[in-house]
Structure 1
Amino acid sequence: MTVLKAIAHKYNDTSLIIRIIIGLVIGAVLGVAFKHLAAISILGDLFVGALKAIAPVLVFVIVIAALCQGSSKLDRRFGTVIVLYLIGTSMGGVVAVIGSFMFPQTIKFAKAYHADSVVQGFGQIVHNLLMNIVDNPVNALINANYLGILAWAVIFGLALKRFAAPNSQRFMKDLSDAVQQGVRWVINFAPFGIMGIVYTNVSTNGLSIFTTYGKLLLLLVGCMLTAALLVNPLIEFIVLRRNPYPLLWRCIKGSAITAFFTRSSAANIPVNMGLCKRLGLDEDMYSVSIPLGSTINMNGASVTISVMTMACAHTLGINVDLPSAIVLCILSAFAACGASGVAGGSLLLIPMACSLFGISNEIAMQVVAVGFIVGVVQDALETALNSSGDVLWTATAEYLSWKRKGKSLPTFLGGTTVVEESNTHKHHYTTENTEK
């Protein structure tokens, strides 16, 4: 028993990224050496099955909890932050769809699948969208109808925010935390699941699958870097009319690097709070906008959902026309806002986007499994983009408020206000006078 405890302790202390890499390598080696190891294949089936089981509950609970506890005592800056969050997240989907049209990718599944009912045209997509939204909430949970789940979660969340007692809202927060912990426990066993998934893929399709996955990963990384280094700065420039890169660099250096390694927007909240303080932002503002951003500012997640959904559609031979692509961009942004703060959370929203094109939940969860294989890099970069964006958009909204009030912007944006601080002393002053 002592030996087992020591092994479990060592396993949990080892980085999830390292464990996933080890599982991936072992699965590939076993797939080349042995062709019929049912015990290994079942590990992948169990992992995918666990994700299928908990994902609908996770989406339903986390959205209700986030909405019912939202604050309503915030000024115009908060509205600006929300708009920037939504624009940034939507543009992530746009970049991903454009990239997927330019460099279409396909996925090799462990099993041969075909779409249950291929959607024909924009009209049928809209019809499916509307009918899924008004689905019975219990039926939506049972059948993993993510559109219906999100729609009813929004309704219940807003209703609880208005009518529920504080204890009831606290219960929803505790329930959300419990469900997220359950997801963390499932993902803690991801190395074993990925080992089984990779084994099944390699033993069935050979090592050529890594070429396909490599191209898919390059597309994901390219879209995320485009969103981070080109699209987000462009939005910031339009809002502030200042060189966007000094602020962007501070967000990358102060937030993105740590988020890349923690791979959790929630875990990076304290880091972002400290960065907001160094940027001279209002604590009453960023103490709300940063935690909220870790939930709804998900342009990296929007990229992942769109790219993986488009790859699945290309694999199944589904023709995605321009109107359908526009709906996918909007839906990806909507889905990304419900992504969990745990590692790999965005992958669990892929089935909702896939449902637009008549792709069954069983096929979509295979796409999720592939996402976990490339997630060693994808999820880290996605979290870095998401988390640093929380500070970027919060600071942009705050500095826009400064401009409207005639207050000088920080020196790195061409103003006279100095807002940088050391580790122990805060400096926030202008060249003309000293301000609190």
Structure 2
Amino acid sequence: MTNISIFDKWCQMSLVLRILGGLIIGTCLGLFVPQWNWIGVMGFTFVSALKAIAPILVAVLIAASIAKAGSGLGSRFRVVISQYMLSTFIAAMCAVVGSFLFPVTLKLSNTVDQSVPGALSDVFSNLLSNMVTNPMVSISEANYIGILFWSILIGIALKMKASQQTITVVQDISDATTLTVKWVIEFAPFGVMGLVFTSVSDGGLTVFSTYGHLVLVLIGCMLACALIFNPLICFLMLRRNPYPLLFTCLKESGIQAFFTRSSAANIPINIALCKKLGLDEDFYSVSIPLGATINMDGAAVTITVMTLATAHTMGVEVTFASALFLSIIATLAACGTSGVAGGSLLLVPMACSFFNIGSDVAMQVVAIGFIIGVIQDSLETALNSSSDVFFTATADYYDRKKRGDNKANS
């Protein structure tokens, strides 16, 4: 009984404050006792638990939501997909402007041998291949393209053929999985403590001294997207102050995504936030995993900045037309970004190829990207994941506003 009351009191405390406490403790432990490697295990365990449950959660949520969904979801999906693609393109253009204003020169010396996409066609080929992967394999390997595809088909089939009792059972399984995820999220402070400990004890912040200019351009572009351009899209649609919603998304989604460095691991957290915001479950249970797949503002910034830094270093002249073309390429390529840490970096050689920059040089830039990944990938994931909730909420509120106007006019 005592254990239950202690756990209940723990859950009743503000999750953000608990995470902040874990962040501070992890930083102090990383500075003063970096040899305590067992602390970092908590971070690895937390991220692994989220990654393990997320594919199951997405699969059952999507199938259950579509099976019991009513009409009216189509318009919201069109709105949110448009927002995802528009914001990603704007992010790429923002990176172009930032790179032109503050050109980056890299020190290219090391080489890396990795398998990367050779052309944009390879990216789309991989997308189609992942889409039709065996559904059980998709879940076990966290292939969200495949999970989305098969869950939507199964949900449609259930809606057409299943009895109400069967749909209720599927919904019960979805609710049980959601509760399991909630239990895992309650231990986020310990996970964040372990993740911060690992980053600090490994001396990750030293990247500022060696690659400070590059890191600052990346950070500046991502912050401009998060704090200026994405809120502007929301304002133009809702005609109201977008920053209360934005700061809620950054606080409750972006902070955790920053430390987990995984959009997939943050899906359960985003779904819980959408529920807290009072959004339509039938909508967000599909739009959130979809956003984790195609809403890649941070990835577009990374691909564009790293490519233009390479071009500048190699003395390649970049015209406005070629920069615009690069933005389009970065937008499309970002949608095919791998879900692994540093996945966007592996698309840099493909983008460099459009400026006739060879893979030997481009892979040196990828190596630099992995060095600064403790900052670049963390901020990229925070931007990507928090904007999934931000645009999902915007689309839902826009639909409610539109329906309210229609009622008022009738």
- TM-score exceeds 0.5: yes
Residue 147 (structure 1) aligned with residue 120 (structure 2): yes
In the aligned structure 2, how far is the partner of 1:210 from the partner of 1:269?
A: 30
Map 1:325-340; keep pairs closer than 5 Å. 325-340=323-338
The code of the aligned residue for 2:262 comes to S
TM-fit CA distance, 1:146 = 3.5
Map 1:44-123; keep pairs closer than 5 Å. 74-111=73-110
Question: Could you say which residue in structure 2 is the equivalent of 1:38?
Answer: none
CA contact (8 A) 1:144 1:361 kept: no
In the aligned structure 2, how far is the partner of 1:148 from the partner of 1:384?
A: 28
In the aligned structure 1, how far is the partner of 2:296 from the partner of 2:108?
A: 27
Give secondary structure in 2 for the equivalent of 1:381: helix
In the aligned structure 2, how far is the partner of 1:404 from the partner of 1:278?
A: 22
Name which of 263, 266, 271 aligns with 1:268: 266
Question: Could you say which residue in structure 2 is the equivalent of 1:257?
Answer: 255
The code of the aligned residue for 2:134 comes to S
Question: Could you say which residue in structure 2 is the equivalent of 1:4?
Answer: none
Question: Could you say which residue in structure 2 is the equivalent of 1:298?
Answer: 296
Cα distance per residue 1:321-357 (max 9 Å; x no partner): 0000001111111111111222222112211211111
TM-fit CA distance, 1:176 = 5.5
Structure 1 75/344 Cα, relative in aligned 2: closer, same or farther at 3 Å?
same
The code of the aligned residue for 1:153 comes to N
Give secondary structure in 2 for the equivalent of 1:75: helix
Map 1:368-387; keep pairs closer than 5 Å. 368-387=366-385
TM-fit CA distance, 1:9 = 8.0
Question: Could you say which residue in structure 2 is the equivalent of 1:51?
Answer: none
Question: Could you say which residue in structure 2 is the equivalent of 1:352?
Answer: 350
Residue 13 (structure 1) aligned with residue 12 (structure 2): no
In the aligned structure 2, how far is the partner of 1:273 from the partner of 1:403?
A: 22
The code of the aligned residue for 2:87 comes to G
Name which of 315, 319, 341 aligns with 1:317: 315
In the aligned structure 2, how far is the partner of 1:151 from the partner of 1:376?
A: 28
Question: Could you say which residue in structure 2 is the equivalent of 1:20?
Answer: none
Question: Could you say which residue in structure 1 is the equivalent of 2:234?
Answer: 236
CA contact (8 A) 1:265 1:342 kept: no
Structure 1 260/102 Cα, relative in aligned 2: closer, same or farther at 3 Å?
same
In the aligned structure 2, how far is the partner of 1:15 from the partner of 1:359?
A: 38
- Structure 1 runs not aligned, ≥5 long: 1-6, 17-65, 114-140, 161-166, 179-190, 196-206, 409-436
In the aligned structure 1, how far is the partner of 2:383 from the partner of 2:116?
A: 32
The code of the aligned residue for 2:123 comes to L
TM-fit CA distance, 1:153 = 3.1
Residue 405 (structure 1) aligned with residue 403 (structure 2): yes
- Structure 2 runs not aligned, ≥5 long: 1-34, 45-58, 145-197
TM-fit CA distance, 1:215 = 0.6
Give secondary structure in 2 for the equivalent of 1:280: coil
CA contact (8 A) 1:106 1:212 kept: no
Residue-pair matches, total: 292
Question: Could you say which residue in structure 1 is the equivalent of 2:187?
Answer: none
CA contact (8 A) 2:208 2:215 kept: no
Higher helix share: 2
Give secondary structure in 1 for the equivalent of 2:354: helix
Name which of 134, 137, 142 aligns with 1:168: 134
Give secondary structure in 1 for the equivalent of 2:344: helix
The code of the aligned residue for 2:76 comes to R
In the aligned structure 1, how far is the partner of 2:275 from the partner of 2:343?
A: 28
TM-fit CA distance, 1:143 = 7.8
In the aligned structure 2, how far is the partner of 1:346 from the partner of 1:168?
A: 25
Structure 1 85/112 Cα, relative in aligned 2: closer, same or farther at 3 Å?
closer
In the aligned structure 1, how far is the partner of 2:110 from the partner of 2:120?
A: 26
The code of the aligned residue for 2:41 comes to D
**Segment of structure 1 superposing worse, 7-16 or 371-380:** 7-16
In the aligned structure 2, how far is the partner of 1:92 from the partner of 1:245?
A: 18
TM-fit CA distance, 1:148 = 2.3
The code of the aligned residue for 1:344 comes to G
Give the structure-1-normalised TM-score.
0.60
Map 1:19-34; keep pairs closer than 5 Å. none
TM-fit CA distance, 1:249 = 1.1
CA contact (8 A) 2:117 2:346 kept: no
Question: Could you say which residue in structure 2 is the equivalent of 1:19?
Answer: none
Percent identical? 52
Give secondary structure in 2 for the equivalent of 1:338: coil
CA contact (8 A) 1:224 1:300 kept: yes
CA contact (8 A) 2:261 2:377 kept: yes
In the aligned structure 1, how far is the partner of 2:143 from the partner of 2:403?
A: 40
